[in-house]
Amino acid sequence: MSCSSESRVEEEESRTPHRNCFTACPELTIDENLLLDPKLLFIASKIGEGAHGKVYEGRSV
């Protein structure tokens, strides 16, 4: 495989389909200060529900 073919394969792997076209994926970064330890969460009663999920009342202890 030549250098140009390798770079083309890497470029194609870094793209994802979106509505019949390909776009480059931005790198996802998460601020560590926003993460919570799941062991410190208290989940209370359900307060809502929709087509894509449920919402629960809760707090961190």
pLDDT in tens, 25-52: 788 888 999 999 999 999 999 999 999 9
Dihedral of CA atoms 50, 53, 54, 60 in degrees, nearest 10, equals -140
> H helices then E strands: how many in the chain?
1, 4
The DSSP 8-state label assigned to residue 4 in this structure reads H
Give the domain range for residue 48: 3-60
pLDDT of residue 25: 72
* Domains contained in the chain, number: 1
pLDDT given at position 61: 84
CA-nearest of 23, 20, 28 to 11 is: 23
